[in-house]
A and B are shown apart, each in its own frame.
Chain A
Amino acid sequence: MFTRKLLQAGLLFGAIFTTGYLLADDHEGGGSRSLAPVTQPKWQAECASCHMLYHPGLLPERSWRKLMGGLDKHFGENASLDKLTQQEILQFLVANSADHNGSRRSEKIASSIPAQATPLRITETAYFQHKHDEISASVWKRPKIGSQSNCIACHSGAEKGNFSEDYVRIPR
């Protein structure tokens, strides 16, 4: 009798635990599942003076190399840096890029990009498009969102690498 009760309790506990574990797939604190927050003073100062800070794990190494090699024509603006700063930031971006940081989200982004492609926009990747396929054009155009490149409008933890579905809040 007692053994049976114990077995039942164990089964119940195990089921709850497993469910939690499976649900945690897209959660923060899932170790290498989500992008780890990263810091680098020059990256933060230089790359966030005109736009939100994009996590290095959102693009592969070849994309960062191409982007940092064309800062004088950065999406239509001159964002050129002195050579030393440019090199330092590039090294940091490469070390934490989608193909080097080891997180599962980064791996999925990297593997969604064809080998011969070098996207400069995160929004061009198949991973991004698949993840956002339920968002209609009118939602993107809401004043508080504005464009697909404004991650932080809905993912408040975007600059820290938190893109977990649990924290998404789409502004009205």
Chain B
Amino acid sequence: MTKTFWLILLILSANAQAASPAEALQGYTAQAKQENPAYKAPSASKGDVFFHATHQLGNGTSVSCATCHTANPRQPGKTRANKEILPMAPSANTQRFTDAAKTEKWFRRNCQDVLERTCTAQEKSDFIAYLLSVK
């Protein structure tokens, strides 16, 4: 019982720790450098290409991040089930990339849906760098 209590408290406190998009970028960049020592710094232009690139899925349909998020990250997007998605660019949505667990959850889901694989830390780092550059 006490163990569960402390576990819940730990999870809550970890979640409650609001991070900034810059911190998220820093974290993924550090991870990317670990994975690949040749990686020097995040590239907003590579993130731009990544965001807009279309991929042919196994079932024949073409998708990109922009399919749901629209080509302009300052604009709200729409899910396939007709629900609004708040803008991806932190300049248009201050909540974006402020919750590390939430950020990871959506990378996990959407990388699988769009790329049919997980994303590398380098891709995540470039992706956030691009979205931070959109003013």
A119 to chain B, nearest CB (A): 18
Give the distance in Å from the alpha carbon of A68 to the alpha carbon of B105 in the complex. 16
Q: Which residues of A contact B105 (CB under 8 A)?
A: 81-82
What are 26 pairs between A and B in contact, CB < 8 Å? A48-B83, A49-B83, A50-B79, A50-B80, A50-B81, A50-B83, A51-B79, A51-B82, A51-B83, A52-B83, A72-B112, A77-B80, A77-B109, A77-B113, A78-B108, A78-B109, A78-B112, A79-B109, A80-B108, A80-B109, A81-B105, A82-B105, A84-B11, A146-B82, A149-B81, A150-B82
Chain A residues with CB below 8 A from B110, complex form: 78
Contacts of B82 in A (CB 8 A): 51, 146, 150
* Chain B nearest Cβ from A98, distance in angstroms: 21
Contacts of A52 in B (CB 8 A): 81, 83
CB within 8 Å of A: which B80-135 residues: 80-83, 105, 108-110, 112-113
Contact with B along A35-49 (1 / 0, CB 8 A): 000000000000011
Q: Mark A129-157, 1 if CB is under 8 A from B, else 0.
A: 00000000000000000100110000000
- Interface SS, B side: helix
| Chain A residue with Cβ nearest B68 | A50
User: What residues of chain B have their CB less than 8 Å away from a CB belonging to chain A?
Assistant: 11, 79-83, 105, 108-110, 112-113
Kindly list chain A residues whose C-beta atoms are within 8 Å of the C-beta of B80.
Answer: 50, 76-77
Distance to closest chain A CB from B58 (angstroms):
11
17 new A-B contacts at CB < 8 Å, known A52-B81, A82-B105? A49-B83, A50-B79, A51-B79, A51-B81, A52-B83, A72-B112, A77-B109, A77-B113, A78-B109, A78-B113, A79-B109, A80-B108, A80-B109, A84-B11, A146-B82, A149-B81, A150-B82
Closest to A46 in B: B105
How long is the Cα–Cα vector from A154 to B10 in the complex, in angstroms?
43
Inter-chain contacts of B108 with A (CB < 8 A): 78, 80
Most buried by B among A51, A78, A79: A78
Residues of A within 8 A of B81 (CB): 50-52, 149
Q: Which residues of the other chain, B, contact A50 by a CB distance below 8 angstroms?
A: 79-81, 83
Q: How far is the CA of A78 from the CA of B108 in the complex (A)?
A: 8
How far in angstroms is the closest Cβ of chain A from B88? 14
Report the separation of the CA atoms of residues A55 and B119 in the bound assembly, to the nearest whole angstrom.
34
